[in-house]
Amino acid sequence: MKHFWAAALATLFAASPSWAQTNTITLGAAVQLTGKDANTGRYYRDAYQLTVDQINEKGGVTVAGKKYTLRLVLLDTQSDANLAVQLYNQLVVREKVDFLLGAYSSTDVLNTSSVAEKYEVPMVQGGGASGQIFSRGYKYIFGTLPRAEDYFNSTLQMLSGLEPKSKTVALVVADDAFDVAVGDGTRQLLKKGGYDIVLDQQYTQKSTDFSSILALVKSKSPDVILWGGLAPEVLDEIRQAKSLDVNPKNLISFTVGVPTADFRKALGKDAEFAFGMTPWVPTGSLKDDWFNDDVAFNKQFIAKYNYEPDYHAASAAADVEVFAKAIPAAGSLDKKAVRDAIAKVDFQSVYGRVKFTENGQIDLPQIVVQVQDGQIVPIFSDHVLSKPRYPVPAWDQRK
Protein backbone atom coordinates (compact mmCIF):
# COMPACT_ATOMS: atom_id res chain seq x y z
CA MET A 1 0.00 0.00 0.00
CA LYS A 2 2.89 2.35 0.84
CA HIS A 3 4.34 1.80 -2.63
CA PHE A 4 0.94 2.44 -4.16
CA TRP A 5 0.58 5.84 -2.49
CA ALA A 6 4.18 6.78 -3.32
CA ALA A 7 3.55 5.99 -6.97
CA ALA A 8 0.25 7.88 -6.89
CA LEU A 9 1.88 10.96 -5.38
CA ALA A 10 4.70 10.81 -7.93
CA THR A 11 2.13 10.67 -10.73
CA LEU A 12 0.17 13.55 -9.22
CA PHE A 13 3.24 15.78 -8.97
CA ALA A 14 4.41 14.84 -12.47
CA ALA A 15 1.03 15.90 -13.81
CA SER A 16 1.00 19.15 -11.88
CA PRO A 17 2.19 22.48 -13.24
CA SER A 18 5.51 23.78 -11.91
CA TRP A 19 3.92 26.44 -9.73
CA ALA A 20 1.94 23.78 -7.83
CA GLN A 21 5.18 22.12 -6.70
CA THR A 22 7.50 25.11 -6.29
CA ASN A 23 7.39 28.88 -6.29
CA THR A 24 8.27 28.82 -9.99
CA ILE A 25 6.35 29.82 -13.12
CA THR A 26 7.71 28.12 -16.22
CA LEU A 27 7.70 29.76 -19.64
CA GLY A 28 8.38 27.46 -22.58
CA ALA A 29 9.44 28.03 -26.17
CA ALA A 30 10.91 26.10 -29.09
CA VAL A 31 13.14 28.34 -31.18
CA GLN A 32 15.70 28.02 -33.96
CA LEU A 33 18.92 27.33 -32.04
CA THR A 34 20.51 25.50 -34.98
CA GLY A 35 19.88 25.37 -38.74
CA LYS A 36 19.34 28.08 -41.33
CA ASP A 37 17.38 30.43 -39.05
CA ALA A 38 19.63 30.12 -35.98
CA ASN A 39 21.15 33.56 -36.56
CA THR A 40 17.73 35.11 -35.95
CA GLY A 41 16.61 32.48 -33.46
CA ARG A 42 19.42 33.51 -31.12
CA TYR A 43 17.72 36.90 -30.58
CA TYR A 44 14.75 35.11 -29.02
CA ARG A 45 16.84 32.64 -27.01
CA ASP A 46 19.00 35.38 -25.54
CA ALA A 47 16.33 38.05 -25.00
CA TYR A 48 14.00 35.56 -23.32
CA GLN A 49 16.73 34.50 -20.90
CA LEU A 50 17.98 38.02 -20.23
CA THR A 51 14.48 39.26 -19.43
CA VAL A 52 13.61 36.28 -17.25
CA ASP A 53 16.84 36.86 -15.30
CA GLN A 54 16.18 40.59 -14.98
CA ILE A 55 12.62 40.12 -13.74
CA ASN A 56 13.80 37.56 -11.19
CA GLU A 57 16.57 39.89 -10.04
CA LYS A 58 13.96 42.60 -9.47
CA GLY A 59 11.88 40.34 -7.24
CA GLY A 60 10.10 38.03 -9.66
CA VAL A 61 6.32 37.96 -10.03
CA THR A 62 3.83 38.39 -7.20
CA VAL A 63 0.51 36.58 -7.43
CA ALA A 64 -2.09 37.10 -4.69
CA GLY A 65 0.64 38.02 -2.23
CA LYS A 66 2.92 35.09 -3.09
CA LYS A 67 6.31 35.53 -4.77
CA TYR A 68 7.27 33.46 -7.81
CA THR A 69 10.41 33.28 -9.90
CA LEU A 70 10.30 32.72 -13.65
CA ARG A 71 11.97 29.74 -15.30
CA LEU A 72 12.64 29.28 -19.00
CA VAL A 73 12.52 25.99 -20.89
CA LEU A 74 13.93 26.22 -24.42
CA LEU A 75 13.91 23.51 -27.09
CA ASP A 76 15.60 23.58 -30.51
CA THR A 77 13.41 23.40 -33.63
CA GLN A 78 16.54 22.99 -35.78
CA SER A 79 14.86 25.51 -38.13
CA ASP A 80 12.27 22.86 -39.02
CA ALA A 81 8.68 24.16 -38.89
CA ASN A 82 7.25 20.62 -38.65
CA LEU A 83 9.50 19.74 -35.73
CA ALA A 84 8.42 22.99 -34.06
CA VAL A 85 4.83 21.73 -33.79
CA GLN A 86 6.00 18.48 -32.17
CA LEU A 87 8.13 20.41 -29.70
CA TYR A 88 5.30 22.72 -28.66
CA ASN A 89 3.18 19.66 -27.98
CA GLN A 90 6.08 18.35 -25.90
CA LEU A 91 6.33 21.62 -23.97
CA VAL A 92 2.66 21.45 -22.99
CA VAL A 93 2.14 17.71 -22.52
CA ARG A 94 5.50 16.44 -21.25
CA GLU A 95 7.34 19.50 -19.92
CA LYS A 96 4.09 20.91 -18.53
CA VAL A 97 5.16 24.51 -18.91
CA ASP A 98 2.75 27.07 -17.56
CA PHE A 99 2.77 29.52 -20.48
CA LEU A 100 4.26 29.73 -23.95
CA LEU A 101 6.59 32.09 -25.80
CA GLY A 102 7.05 31.94 -29.55
CA ALA A 103 9.61 31.13 -32.22
CA TYR A 104 10.83 33.19 -35.14
CA SER A 105 8.91 33.40 -38.43
CA SER A 106 5.26 33.64 -39.30
CA THR A 107 5.24 30.11 -40.71
CA ASP A 108 6.39 28.63 -37.41
CA VAL A 109 3.99 30.71 -35.34
CA LEU A 110 1.09 29.99 -37.69
CA ASN A 111 1.56 26.27 -37.03
CA THR A 112 2.59 26.24 -33.37
CA SER A 113 -0.11 28.65 -32.23
CA SER A 114 -2.62 25.90 -33.02
CA VAL A 115 -1.02 23.90 -30.20
CA ALA A 116 -1.52 26.81 -27.80
CA GLU A 117 -5.14 27.11 -28.88
CA LYS A 118 -5.80 23.38 -28.64
CA TYR A 119 -4.59 23.18 -25.04
CA GLU A 120 -5.76 26.70 -24.13
CA VAL A 121 -2.30 27.80 -23.02
CA PRO A 122 -1.58 31.50 -23.61
CA MET A 123 1.23 32.14 -26.10
CA VAL A 124 2.84 35.59 -26.45
CA GLN A 125 5.22 35.79 -29.37
CA GLY A 126 7.27 38.39 -31.22
CA GLY A 127 8.30 36.32 -34.23
CA GLY A 128 5.19 36.07 -36.41
CA ALA A 129 3.62 39.10 -38.08
CA SER A 130 1.34 37.60 -40.74
CA GLY A 131 -2.31 38.54 -40.42
CA GLN A 132 -3.12 34.89 -41.09
CA ILE A 133 -2.04 34.07 -37.55
CA PHE A 134 -4.63 36.42 -36.10
CA SER A 135 -7.51 35.92 -38.54
CA ARG A 136 -8.61 32.49 -37.28
CA GLY A 137 -10.49 33.64 -34.21
CA TYR A 138 -7.95 32.10 -31.84
CA LYS A 139 -8.10 33.38 -28.26
CA TYR A 140 -4.76 32.21 -26.85
CA ILE A 141 -2.27 33.72 -29.32
CA PHE A 142 -0.85 37.25 -28.96
CA GLY A 143 1.79 38.98 -31.08
CA THR A 144 4.14 41.92 -30.56
CA LEU A 145 5.21 42.49 -34.16
CA PRO A 146 3.34 44.98 -36.36
CA ARG A 147 1.04 43.60 -39.05
CA ALA A 148 3.01 42.22 -42.00
CA GLU A 149 0.40 43.75 -44.30
CA ASP A 150 1.47 47.22 -43.11
CA TYR A 151 5.25 46.76 -43.27
CA PHE A 152 5.79 49.07 -46.24
CA ASN A 153 3.25 51.67 -45.11
CA SER A 154 5.83 54.04 -43.54
CA THR A 155 8.10 53.63 -46.58
CA LEU A 156 5.33 54.71 -48.93
CA GLN A 157 4.39 57.62 -46.67
CA MET A 158 8.02 58.74 -46.75
CA LEU A 159 8.17 58.42 -50.54
CA SER A 160 5.19 60.72 -50.98
CA GLY A 161 7.23 63.58 -49.56
CA LEU A 162 10.45 62.98 -51.50
CA GLU A 163 11.68 64.47 -54.76
CA PRO A 164 11.97 63.19 -57.42
CA LYS A 165 8.54 61.60 -57.13
CA SER A 166 8.18 57.86 -57.52
CA LYS A 167 5.41 56.40 -59.64
CA THR A 168 6.40 52.90 -60.77
CA VAL A 169 7.09 50.01 -58.39
CA ALA A 170 8.46 46.48 -58.71
CA LEU A 171 7.11 44.31 -55.89
CA VAL A 172 8.96 41.06 -55.22
CA VAL A 173 8.09 38.78 -52.28
CA ALA A 174 8.69 35.20 -51.16
CA ASP A 175 5.91 32.64 -50.83
CA ASP A 176 6.17 32.05 -47.05
CA ALA A 177 3.34 33.15 -44.74
CA PHE A 178 4.99 36.41 -43.72
CA ASP A 179 5.89 37.60 -47.21
CA VAL A 180 2.56 36.57 -48.73
CA ALA A 181 0.93 38.82 -46.14
CA VAL A 182 3.41 41.59 -46.93
CA GLY A 183 2.56 41.29 -50.61
CA ASP A 184 -1.20 41.32 -50.02
CA GLY A 185 -1.04 44.40 -47.85
CA THR A 186 1.47 46.25 -50.02
CA ARG A 187 -0.62 45.84 -53.17
CA GLN A 188 -3.48 47.58 -51.40
CA LEU A 189 -1.20 50.34 -50.11
CA LEU A 190 0.24 50.89 -53.59
CA LYS A 191 -3.22 51.03 -55.15
CA LYS A 192 -4.35 53.50 -52.52
CA GLY A 193 -1.24 55.63 -53.12
CA GLY A 194 -1.76 55.73 -56.89
CA TYR A 195 1.40 53.80 -57.76
CA ASP A 196 1.80 51.75 -60.91
CA ILE A 197 2.94 48.18 -60.15
CA VAL A 198 5.06 47.36 -63.20
CA LEU A 199 6.18 43.99 -61.80
CA ASP A 200 4.51 41.79 -59.18
CA GLN A 201 6.65 38.71 -58.68
CA GLN A 202 6.72 35.89 -56.14
CA TYR A 203 9.60 33.49 -55.54
CA THR A 204 10.00 30.27 -53.58
CA GLN A 205 11.24 30.82 -50.03
CA LYS A 206 14.87 29.83 -49.43
CA SER A 207 15.70 30.66 -53.04
CA THR A 208 19.31 31.59 -53.70
CA ASP A 209 19.28 32.43 -57.41
CA PHE A 210 17.43 35.65 -58.30
CA SER A 211 18.99 36.25 -61.72
CA SER A 212 15.77 35.69 -63.70
CA ILE A 213 13.70 37.91 -61.40
CA LEU A 214 16.37 40.61 -61.43
CA ALA A 215 16.42 40.49 -65.23
CA LEU A 216 12.67 41.17 -65.19
CA VAL A 217 13.15 44.03 -62.71
CA LYS A 218 15.86 45.53 -64.90
CA SER A 219 13.64 45.35 -67.98
CA LYS A 220 10.91 47.34 -66.19
CA SER A 221 13.29 50.06 -64.90
CA PRO A 222 11.08 50.89 -61.87
CA ASP A 223 11.39 53.97 -59.71
CA VAL A 224 11.17 51.79 -56.60
CA ILE A 225 11.86 48.16 -55.73
CA LEU A 226 10.09 46.72 -52.68
CA TRP A 227 11.59 43.36 -51.72
CA GLY A 228 10.08 40.97 -49.18
CA GLY A 229 12.17 38.06 -47.97
CA LEU A 230 14.14 36.65 -45.08
CA ALA A 231 17.66 37.89 -44.32
CA PRO A 232 19.64 35.31 -46.38
CA GLU A 233 17.46 36.02 -49.41
CA VAL A 234 17.94 39.76 -49.04
CA LEU A 235 21.72 39.35 -48.90
CA ASP A 236 21.69 37.19 -52.04
CA GLU A 237 19.47 39.69 -53.85
CA ILE A 238 21.83 42.59 -53.14
CA ARG A 239 24.95 40.70 -54.20
CA GLN A 240 23.31 39.54 -57.42
CA ALA A 241 21.77 42.94 -58.14
CA LYS A 242 25.23 44.47 -58.00
CA SER A 243 26.67 41.75 -60.23
CA LEU A 244 23.89 42.23 -62.79
CA ASP A 245 23.84 46.05 -62.41
CA VAL A 246 20.16 46.16 -61.44
CA ASN A 247 19.18 49.57 -60.07
CA PRO A 248 15.93 51.29 -59.15
CA LYS A 249 15.71 54.91 -60.24
CA ASN A 250 15.02 56.12 -56.70
CA LEU A 251 15.29 53.46 -53.98
CA ILE A 252 15.07 49.85 -52.92
CA SER A 253 13.62 48.83 -49.56
CA PHE A 254 13.62 45.47 -47.77
CA THR A 255 11.31 44.01 -45.13
CA VAL A 256 14.05 42.45 -42.98
CA GLY A 257 17.79 42.43 -42.45
CA VAL A 258 18.77 46.06 -42.92
CA PRO A 259 18.64 47.13 -39.22
CA THR A 260 21.03 44.39 -38.09
CA ALA A 261 24.78 44.62 -37.58
CA ASP A 262 25.08 41.28 -39.41
CA PHE A 263 23.65 42.89 -42.56
CA ARG A 264 26.32 45.59 -42.61
CA LYS A 265 29.07 43.12 -41.74
CA ALA A 266 28.06 40.70 -44.49
CA LEU A 267 27.81 43.32 -47.23
CA GLY A 268 30.37 45.91 -46.22
CA LYS A 269 30.13 48.98 -48.47
CA ASP A 270 27.43 47.30 -50.54
CA ALA A 271 25.05 47.78 -47.60
CA GLU A 272 25.22 51.56 -48.10
CA PHE A 273 22.00 53.35 -49.12
CA ALA A 274 19.80 50.31 -48.42
CA PHE A 275 16.42 51.16 -46.90
CA GLY A 276 14.68 48.92 -44.44
CA MET A 277 12.32 49.09 -41.50
CA THR A 278 12.13 48.32 -37.82
CA PRO A 279 9.54 48.93 -35.10
CA TRP A 280 12.37 49.50 -32.60
CA VAL A 281 15.39 51.78 -32.31
CA PRO A 282 16.89 52.28 -28.81
CA THR A 283 16.80 55.99 -27.96
CA GLY A 284 16.32 56.04 -24.18
CA SER A 285 12.69 57.12 -24.50
CA LEU A 286 11.16 53.70 -23.83
CA LYS A 287 10.96 53.11 -20.07
CA ASP A 288 10.00 49.91 -18.32
CA ASP A 289 9.85 48.40 -14.81
CA TRP A 290 12.87 46.09 -15.09
CA PHE A 291 15.63 47.41 -17.38
CA ASN A 292 14.92 51.11 -16.75
CA ASP A 293 14.88 51.94 -20.47
CA ASP A 294 15.61 50.63 -23.97
CA VAL A 295 19.19 51.90 -24.04
CA ALA A 296 19.96 50.09 -20.78
CA PHE A 297 18.42 46.92 -22.27
CA ASN A 298 20.56 47.36 -25.39
CA LYS A 299 23.77 47.79 -23.34
CA GLN A 300 22.96 44.90 -21.04
CA PHE A 301 22.24 42.62 -24.00
CA ILE A 302 25.55 43.50 -25.70
CA ALA A 303 27.49 43.08 -22.46
CA LYS A 304 26.07 39.59 -21.89
CA TYR A 305 25.98 38.20 -25.42
CA ASN A 306 28.61 40.24 -27.27
CA TYR A 307 26.40 41.22 -30.20
CA GLU A 308 23.80 43.91 -30.88
CA PRO A 309 20.10 43.17 -30.38
CA ASP A 310 17.59 44.23 -33.00
CA TYR A 311 13.80 44.46 -32.95
CA HIS A 312 13.47 40.67 -32.75
CA ALA A 313 15.25 40.73 -29.40
CA ALA A 314 13.32 43.76 -28.16
CA SER A 315 9.99 42.20 -29.08
CA ALA A 316 11.05 38.96 -27.36
CA ALA A 317 11.85 40.91 -24.19
CA ALA A 318 8.40 42.50 -24.37
CA ASP A 319 6.81 39.05 -24.65
CA VAL A 320 8.27 38.02 -21.30
CA GLU A 321 7.30 41.38 -19.80
CA VAL A 322 3.70 40.77 -20.88
CA PHE A 323 3.53 37.72 -18.61
CA ALA A 324 5.19 39.63 -15.78
CA LYS A 325 2.40 42.21 -16.07
CA ALA A 326 -0.56 39.94 -16.83
CA ILE A 327 -0.03 37.23 -14.23
CA PRO A 328 -0.16 39.60 -11.20
CA ALA A 329 -3.11 41.41 -12.82
CA ALA A 330 -4.94 38.08 -13.13
CA GLY A 331 -4.28 37.39 -9.44
CA SER A 332 -4.11 33.76 -10.41
CA LEU A 333 -2.13 31.24 -12.47
CA ASP A 334 -5.28 29.93 -14.07
CA LYS A 335 -4.58 29.93 -17.79
CA LYS A 336 -7.89 31.45 -18.84
CA ALA A 337 -7.58 34.21 -16.22
CA VAL A 338 -4.06 35.00 -17.42
CA ARG A 339 -5.24 34.93 -21.03
CA ASP A 340 -7.93 37.49 -20.19
CA ALA A 341 -5.40 39.66 -18.36
CA ILE A 342 -3.02 39.56 -21.36
CA ALA A 343 -5.83 40.81 -23.58
CA LYS A 344 -6.15 43.85 -21.30
CA VAL A 345 -2.48 44.79 -20.76
CA ASP A 346 -1.48 48.33 -21.61
CA PHE A 347 2.05 49.22 -20.56
CA GLN A 348 5.35 50.69 -21.71
CA SER A 349 8.03 48.09 -22.40
CA VAL A 350 11.64 48.39 -23.60
CA TYR A 351 10.20 47.65 -27.04
CA GLY A 352 7.31 50.11 -27.10
CA ARG A 353 3.77 50.42 -25.89
CA VAL A 354 2.16 47.00 -25.54
CA LYS A 355 -1.57 46.98 -26.05
CA PHE A 356 -3.23 44.24 -28.05
CA THR A 357 -6.01 44.79 -30.53
CA GLU A 358 -9.09 42.60 -30.40
CA ASN A 359 -7.50 39.93 -32.59
CA GLY A 360 -4.41 39.70 -30.36
CA GLN A 361 -1.90 41.69 -32.40
CA ILE A 362 -0.04 44.82 -31.42
CA ASP A 363 -0.19 48.07 -33.40
CA LEU A 364 3.22 49.75 -33.77
CA PRO A 365 4.47 51.98 -36.60
CA GLN A 366 7.47 50.88 -38.63
CA ILE A 367 10.49 53.18 -38.56
CA VAL A 368 12.12 53.53 -41.98
CA VAL A 369 15.90 53.24 -41.64
CA GLN A 370 18.78 53.62 -44.07
CA VAL A 371 22.41 52.54 -43.97
CA GLN A 372 24.54 55.69 -44.09
CA ASP A 373 28.33 55.52 -43.62
CA GLY A 374 28.01 52.09 -42.07
CA GLN A 375 25.43 53.17 -39.49
CA ILE A 376 21.68 52.69 -39.17
CA VAL A 377 19.95 56.07 -39.44
CA PRO A 378 16.23 56.40 -38.57
CA ILE A 379 14.62 58.31 -41.45
CA PHE A 380 10.85 58.31 -41.04
CA SER A 381 8.06 56.95 -38.83
CA ASP A 382 4.92 59.05 -39.13
CA HIS A 383 7.13 62.10 -39.61
CA VAL A 384 10.62 62.90 -40.91
CA LEU A 385 13.39 61.92 -38.48
CA SER A 386 16.53 62.41 -40.62
CA LYS A 387 17.44 63.25 -44.19
CA PRO A 388 17.58 60.23 -46.50
CA ARG A 389 20.27 59.79 -49.13
CA TYR A 390 17.90 59.83 -52.06
CA PRO A 391 17.72 58.95 -54.85
CA VAL A 392 20.02 55.99 -54.34
CA PRO A 393 22.98 56.09 -56.76
CA ALA A 394 23.44 53.28 -59.27
CA TRP A 395 26.07 50.65 -58.48
CA ASP A 396 28.58 52.06 -60.94
CA GLN A 397 28.22 55.57 -59.46
CA ARG A 398 29.03 54.62 -55.89
CA LYS A 399 32.42 55.42 -54.43
Enumerate the domain spans of the chain: 11-146+282-355, 150-278+366-397
Reply yes or no on whether the pLDDT at 300 is more than 70: yes
Tell me: pLDDT of 7 over 60.
no
pLDDT of residue 22: 72
Write down the architecture of domain 11-146+282-355 according to CATH: 3-Layer(aba) Sandwich (3.40)
| First CA to last CA distance, the chain | 84
Asked whether the domain spanning 150-278+366-397 has the same topology as the one spanning 11-146+282-355, the reply is: yes
Q: How far, CA to CA in Å, does 367 sit from each of 5, 106, 133, 270, 313?
A: 60, 20, 23, 22, 16
- Which band of pLDDT confidence, cut at 50, 70 and 90, is reported for residue 325? very high
From CA 146, how far away is CA 363, in angstroms rounded?
6
Per CATH, is 150-278+366-397 categorized as 3.60.15.10? Answer: no
CA dihedral 387, 390, 395, 399 (to 10 degrees): -40
Going by pLDDT thresholds of 50, 70 and 90, the confidence category of residue 353 is very high
Average pLDDT over residues 131-137: 95
Q: How confident is the model at residue 362 (pLDDT cuts 50, 70, 90)?
A: very high
Predicted structure pTM score: 0.90
Residue 11 pLDDT exceeds 50: no
Which tens digit of pLDDT belongs to each residue from 212-222?
999 999 999 99
Residue 10 has pLDDT above 70, yes or no: no
